[in-house]
Every structure is written in structure tokens, then in C-alpha cells.
Structure 1
Amino acid sequence: MKHRAFAAALAACLLLAGCGGEPSSAPAGSDGPAALETVDDRLTYVSRSPISIGFGAEGDAGFYYTDMSEDYSHGNIHFIDKESHQDVILCSNPGCAHDTDACPAYLGNRRPELAWTGGKVVLFYQGMDTDETKVLPHIDVMNPDGSDRHKVCDLEANQEYNGGVAASGDSLYFLLSTYEANGYSTELVRLNLTSGSLVTVCKVEKTTFLMGVACGQLIVKHFGMPEGESQLSDISEQRHILTAIDPTTGAKSTVAEWKQDEGWEVIADDKLFLFSMPNDVLHLTVRDLATGEENEYDLGIEVEEPKNIVNQTYHNGTLLFDLLSGYTEEDELISKYLAFTPETQDLREIKLCDPVRGYPILIEGELGDGVILQVPQYSGTDISSFERDRLVYCSWEDYLNSRLPE
């Protein structure tokens, strides 16, 4: 009965817009969080998430993404037009079958990750080492129409880029790990997309992720030990340390720190959005990193073990997150995909989900006033009937109201 009562209380809460109540505000001051100095106004975060660049990105005229052909024999670069929302392969050659190197959108049997910056499409290839083929990890760049695709940088065979990427003009910033016989090291690097030069900005901890950009600085997170400890006896004591890095000098400053499972963060709009669960109630702290001002929101949702947040993102002033809280009487995990807009304090549940697996349908990227969703396709009603994922344009209003386009 406890789980049933919890679910009923949560459902009742979600029917109320703005159930979080009025926020409290803590002005910046000598005792408050320090403000970040703005370094590079052009710096943007071009990754889908801190652990993945993603397979698609919005450009000036539409959304670019990579996908496999219908028979999975090869990959292609696709383009969804911003005005018509028409999805086409990025090739204007008449009669092209898009299945050979003659096609500018042909990717062979590889599916690189994709980003957009400075009016260019950027492709990130992981390395490949098989009995038949050895390919170094590398980065390509091409024009918006698919022309002039060329390699700008080869990485070493023992190197790989890690997740997040930021950009400013011709410069790409990402974490690069180098593996040796006795372990590996990680550094923040800057790649010039015109010259191909690759330089180290600074060394970072091995367990570091590029989380986003704020005030023209790179925001990274790494995991650390409690002060004075050399190893963990309890994973709950592991520290999450958020750091700002000046992209020009590599200078570092600590932004925030918390224990494992005490906070779940999003970096966007020069703000740190930090979820927490004090006294088993969902809470949000919003810190303006440019001023140090903080606002606090109690969202009014009681939480139970395992008390976790995943898939957290930010779009159009709204935080989206998957709240894992409690178990059903059948010991199944209770998961609610929620949207909270701090400015209006509107809180609602997004009920778009995979009809077979029950996973929330997540936003893959933005396109104009709407979003691109990855929608699974099935021929039947069980997992064995899965066919493929399709990218679908959806208006922002329809998405918030759990409606897919017709």
C-alpha cells in the first residue's frame, strides 16, 4: 500500500501547475558563491550530453544527423529542413543511390558522432582496429550542403575523445585520453578546425567529464576522495567536484562540490541547476554563475529509495529529468519523466514513452521552435518486433503536452 499511496500523491502533485511554491533568493555577497568572470562570449556547448557528442545537431538551416540505411549495409548523413521538416539524405546528386563514396553523404559502415559549429558540420570517428582494417580516430569537417568533406585531425591509435565538446569559432575543446601500458591520462585540448593544430589547454583528473559552458568558461566535473582519504570505504562519500576552466589559459576555479547521490546537475544559460533530496523531498537550487545569486525551489515531491535522477537536460527554459523513486508492489522501479520551468514553476509529467520498453522518449536536439525526438518503431507488441528508431520533429507545446505529431 505504501508504494500505491506514494504514486497517488505524486500524480496529484503533477496535476498542479507551479506546485513548487515561491522560490527563495540568496543574493551574491562575500559569504555567498563567487561569480564567474566571463572569458569567451562565443563559447558554446555542442554535445548532446557530457558522455556523448551525439549523432545529430541543429545547423543554421536545419538538423543534421547520421543514420544507417534501411538494410543497415552503410551509413548516411541526413538533413531535416527547419521550415518544411522534410527529412532527406544530404546529397543533391541526381539519381544517386547514396551507397558509394561518390555520394557526399555516404559514411560506409561507420556511424560517426556529429556536431555543428562555425557554420560547419563536424564528424567524430572513433578508431577501428580489426584483422581487415585499421583506422585511426579522426575528425572530419564539411560544408552545410555536404561538400568539401575532409579530415582535419588524426588522433593516435591509443587516444580517444571523451564525451562532451565545446566550440568557439574555429576552435573545438574536448577531453582527450591517452592510454599507456601502465594506465592512462586525460587532458583538455583545443583543436583548430582550419589548421588542424591540436594543443593542450591543461591536464585534468582521469575521471573528468565536460559538463557544459558558463560565462565563456568550460565546466568540468570529476570524482574525488573525501578530504584526507586515499580510498573509498563507502561510495556515498565520493565527491563530485565541479570546476570552471578558462579556455585561453587553462586556469581553474571550483564552482561547487557535493557527495555522491546528494546532487544531480545541469549547466545551461550561465546557470547551475542542482537537484537534491533533503528530508526525502525533491529540491532544486538554481545558481546564476555570472552573479552568484541563488534561488531555491521545493518541488513538493516526496522521494523514496533508490532516489536517483537520470536523463536530465534543459530546453527552452525548462528542466527535463527522469526521477527514479520507489518500487511498485511487484518490485518494479517507479520512473517519472518530469518537466519543471523555474520561471513559471510549472511542473508536469511527460508521458511520451516507448510503447514496449516503457522508456521515456527523449529529445535528441532542437530545431527552430520545436524539438527532434527519437521514436522507436515496432512491427508488433514485444521487444523482438523492434525495427529501428526514427527521428521525428515535434513542436515544443506538443512535447510538453505529451503529444506526438500526426
Structure 2
Amino acid sequence: MKKIFAVLMSLVLGGSLCACGNGVQTLGENTGKESSGSSVSEEQAVAGGIMKKQSTQEQSSKGQAVEGLQILNDSDHLANCYTKDGYYYLTKDATELEDGTWGTHLMYMDFATKQEVYLCSNAGCKHNTADCPSVFLMNEFPLYASGIFVYGHKLYVLSKESDNEGSVTQDLVVSSDDAAVETEAAKAVLYEMNLDGTNRQKVFTFDAGLTVEDVVLGDESGLYFVTKKLSNTMGEGNNSVTTSTDRKLVFWNKSTQKAEDICSLNYEDGINWKIIGCMDNALVLSGTDYGKALTTDDYTKSDDDWNNMYKNSSEVVATLDLNTKTLDEKYRMDNATLHSIAVMDGTLYVSNSETGEIKTINLTTKEEKVLCTLAQNYIMSTFAHVLCCDTWNDENDRTYYFVNTDTGEVQHSSLVNQALGWNLEFKAEVGSQILVIYDYEYTPLGDNSYDITQYKYALIDKSDLYAGNAKYEPILMVGKGC
């Protein structure tokens, strides 16, 4: 799929263009290399620091209180799970355990030793039974949908089903009268554990019938989630459309371990608002304004009709004050022109594919400035004081362009994935270094696609990354990576 089409579809779905797309086609269920003996000691895992990636880019060391509102988990914006000492991830491939059940594993990459291990401190453990701290049973933790993040001194896992809002399914008869039928989502559960994976326990269970979105935010007092109810409605061409109602911002108090509704996220503007960042005590939201609320028939339009409708719409960015519960529009852009956005340190960054400009918009004063002009200004991700940009439609250029948000200076890095020449994948920002996937082990499938059998991780200094110097510090892998 061409990048420009993927960009357009991302905008149509209302998300900001902050996520890093890599074009990797991973096929099959190869679990890669396995190790039965490697594990993490408690000493390796007890220290660390909370790092968020797509909100304000501030850092707080483990052992200090969380300061201010932060995005902790969001699959769309690469808020990956890591501290200043290591990186955590749940494997994407299921493994059959000793008793015939299936599970995934929680892995840990130690930055000091540059080694990956199973997050387990049980001596002699083979990591193939349910009592291993690194094992997460599939019937409790749905594959791909469950999210992991660090908050305070603890690791958290949000076990939940996939969020299918906006999906269209053919030949699914929902009901005889084509009325909306509410889906019965399994209860989402929040788990807490120590940083070494021990003492895993349920700390909160969401009400039945609620779907919990991927994004999780946190402040000094607790965690914020977005919940909603999904329903299926029949549209044209015997298509079933999944839509939501009762979207709410919910706060979980870490002291009382109880939750309360903060406010509704359904407004009378017909916009499906998504959280793309935060600042002070406010959320930064983005949504597509079609001039009306979308109907079931809108979702089932032909590609041409949908694209025409989209090109006549606008993308809107607003802030939601959590004290007053008021929504304040900050910026609006025409969707007839491809653009990308990112939020960092109370500033909205907007790039225009036609003019090449990257603008800054102060989300408090609404003041606009041109930061720089760059043809390759598709904003893929952000680091502290840096925008990582890519080309819009040149599939032969998989390099990155790094824009200093203080000066507007641009550095072009020639670094690409060593195996296949694809884009680097960024996983963590740790002080002056970045954790990247810089190489693959793979099997060609003969049709220009590949089975990635192992992802190769490494740390690299930011200065070398931006300058194109391949001075990688590889992580010794025992698993496949993801």
C-alpha cells in the first residue's frame, strides 16, 4: 500500500499522524529464537523512570512522584513501555505451554547490560507454565489488544478486547430489523505488578459491556481511561458497521482503587474526538469535522464517495480542560490538503504537504509561526525538542529528517534498516539515546513480502542518529521482539 494512501486513511479515521509507519509485512506465526533459562533479577528491574513519548516529553525518575498529566500508553502514538533502565514488551506470538494452554511472554531489555531476558526471577524456570511471572495466558490477556505501561513504581497491564469502532464487516446479519445491536465486550481488567514482574494482581475491573480504548493517561493521583459502548448496525450492501455511544473519560484513583466518570466525550458537534496529547490539566483532542454526525450509510460509501466527503471536511484540534470540562477549539485545517500533526510541550506542530511548511501553534495563546520549510515534512514521531519526519510518497526514500523545534534546523539521516532498507523503528527515548529496531532476521516469501523471524534492537546516541552515523549498541536478543 502506498504511503500517501495510508496517510489519508489515518486522517479519515481521526487520528493524528504521530505514529511511525514502517511498511513491515510480518506473516505467519514464527516465534523466533527461544531461550529457556534467561530471566531478569529483581535488582535489574527495581530501578527506572517513567518516560512518555507523545505528550510533553518530560522525564521523571523512578522513585519520584509522577508530575503532571502524561500519556502512558497509546498504540497510535508509540507511548511504549520503558523506564530509564529498560524496555518492556508483551510478545505478539502465542506459545503453547506445558499444560497445552497458550500464552504470551513479558520480555525486558536491560539498557546497562544490553541484554534481553524473560521478566522472571524464578531460578531454573523454563517460562512455559502459568506460574512463571513472564507468562500471560491468552484467555486472560487477549493477543494484540492488551496494553502494558509503567506508572509510579509499578508495571500495569490493561487486559481488554480490541477496539473495533469504525470497522465495516460484510455479510454479517446483525438483526432482522437492522436496528443497532450492542456488542457484549468481556470485562476489561487492570493488573498491577512489581517492576520485576512479581506480585501480579487485579486492581480494577471495568463494568461489563464497556470497551476501553488504548490510550491511558496518568497524573499524581491516578489513571485516566476512555470507555464506551460498541454496537453493530446494518448499512447498505449487507454491511455491518461498528459504532460507539456513551464515550466517557474515567478516572481511577490509585489510593482508593475506585473509578469515577469525569465527563462525556460525546458532543453535539458530530466529531469523534481522539486524545492526541496533554498539557497542564488539559487533554489535547483531534477529530474530523464533516459538518454532520456520520451515519451508518456514510461508513459504507464507496472509496470515491468517502474520499470526496473527506476532502470537504476539516481536521480540528481542541483542548479539554479537566477542571471546567470545557472544550476549546485551537486550530482547524482543510483536509483537501494532506497534512500531519504532533503535540509536544503545549505546542501543536502542523505540516502541509503542498507548501512544505511546518507551523507551530501555541495551544494556550493560539499564536502561529512557521518553524521551517521542508518537502519531507510528514511528521512520524517526536523526541525531546525534535520532530522526526519522512517523505509523503517517495517509497525509495526510507530515511528520516530531524527538525529541531527550538531552531528549525533540519538534519537528514541516511540510516535505514540494515536488512531490507526500510525505515528504522523507534521504541524508546532514554536521555541522550534512542532504542531502535535497526535490523531483521527474515525469510523471503517470494512475493515481495517477508516473514520477520527476529527484530534486532540497539541503542544509538541521538547525535549519531541525526547525523547518520551507524554507531549502534546492539541488544543481545533471546526472543523475537516485536
Specify the TM-score bucket, using the shorter chain as the normaliser: 0.7 to 0.9
* Correspondence 1:283 to 2:357: yes
- Counterpart of 1:176, as a letter, is T
**What SS does the corresponding residue of 1:353 show, helix, strand or coil?**
coil
Matched with 1:273 is: 349
**TM-superposition CA deviations, 1:373-400 (whole Å, max 9, x none):** 2345224566445213244333222322
- Call closer, same or farther: CA 1:257–1:291 in 2, change over 3 Å: closer
Matched with 2:136 is: 107
Which of 317, 320, 328 is the matching residue for 2:385? 317
Matched with 2:424 is: 361
Q: CA deviation at 1:71?
A: 5.8
- Call closer, same or farther: CA 1:367–1:85 in 2, change over 3 Å: farther
**TM-superposition CA deviations, 1:317-357 (whole Å, max 9, x none):** 1101222135xxxxx67665321113243323333334566
TM-score, length of structure 1 as denominator length: 0.74
Matched with 1:400 is: 466
**More strand by proportion, 1 or 2?**
1
Matched with 1:223 is: 288
- Counterpart of 1:196, as a letter, is Q
Checking the alignment, whether the CA contact within 8 Å between 2:459 and 2:473 is kept in structure 1 is: yes
**TM-superposition CA deviations, 1:203-242 (whole Å, max 9, x none):** 2247221101123311111211248999885311212121
- Call closer, same or farther: CA 1:373–1:281 in 2, change over 3 Å: same
Checking the alignment, whether the CA contact within 8 Å between 2:441 and 2:455 is kept in structure 1 is: no
Matched with 2:87 is: 63
Q: CA deviation at 1:362?
A: 1.9
Matched with 1:214 is: 279
**TM-superposition CA deviations, 1:11-64 (whole Å, max 9, x none):** xxxxxxxxxxxxxxxxxxxxxxxxxxxxx9611122355x3676x422254322
Q: CA deviation at 1:124?
A: 1.6
Q: CA deviation at 1:287?
A: 2.5
- Counterpart of 1:161, as a letter, is V
- Counterpart of 2:272, as a letter, is T
Aligned mates of 1:164, 1:387 — CA distance in 2: 29
Matched with 1:188 is: 249
Checking the alignment, whether the CA contact within 8 Å between 1:223 and 1:239 is kept in structure 2 is: yes
- Call closer, same or farther: CA 1:246–1:120 in 2, change over 3 Å: farther
Checking the alignment, whether the CA contact within 8 Å between 1:165 and 1:172 is kept in structure 2 is: yes
**What SS does the corresponding residue of 2:311 show, helix, strand or coil?**
helix
- Counterpart of 1:57, as a letter, is C
- Counterpart of 1:155, as a letter, is F
Moved more, 265-274 or 354-363: 354-363
Q: CA deviation at 1:313?
A: 1.4
Checking the alignment, whether the CA contact within 8 Å between 1:58 and 1:365 is kept in structure 2 is: yes
**What SS does the corresponding residue of 1:325 show, helix, strand or coil?**
coil
Aligned mates of 1:190, 1:69 — CA distance in 2: 32
TM-score, length of structure 2 as denominator length: 0.63
**What SS does the corresponding residue of 2:463 show, helix, strand or coil?**
helix
Identical aligned pairs, as a percentage? 16
Checking the alignment, whether the CA contact within 8 Å between 2:110 and 2:116 is kept in structure 1 is: yes
Aligned mates of 1:335, 1:281 — CA distance in 2: 21
**What SS does the corresponding residue of 1:244 show, helix, strand or coil?**
strand
Matched with 2:180 is: none
Aligned mates of 1:157, 1:309 — CA distance in 2: 40
* Correspondence 1:125 to 2:159: yes
Aligned mates of 1:287, 1:309 — CA distance in 2: 17
**TM-superposition CA deviations, 1:108-133 (whole Å, max 9, x none):** 334532111222211122238xxxxx
- Counterpart of 2:462, as a letter, is W
Matched pairs, number: 347
* Correspondence 1:345 to 2:374: no
Which of 219, 233, 237 is the matching residue for 1:168? 219
* Correspondence 1:204 to 2:204: no
**What SS does the corresponding residue of 2:126 show, helix, strand or coil?**
coil
- Call closer, same or farther: CA 1:355–1:145 in 2, change over 3 Å: closer
Matched with 1:254 is: 329
Matched with 2:206 is: 155
Structure 1 portions without partners, runs of 5+: 1-39, 129-133, 327-331
- Call closer, same or farther: CA 1:375–1:153 in 2, change over 3 Å: farther
Checking the alignment, whether the CA contact within 8 Å between 1:281 and 1:298 is kept in structure 2 is: no
Matched with 1:13 is: none
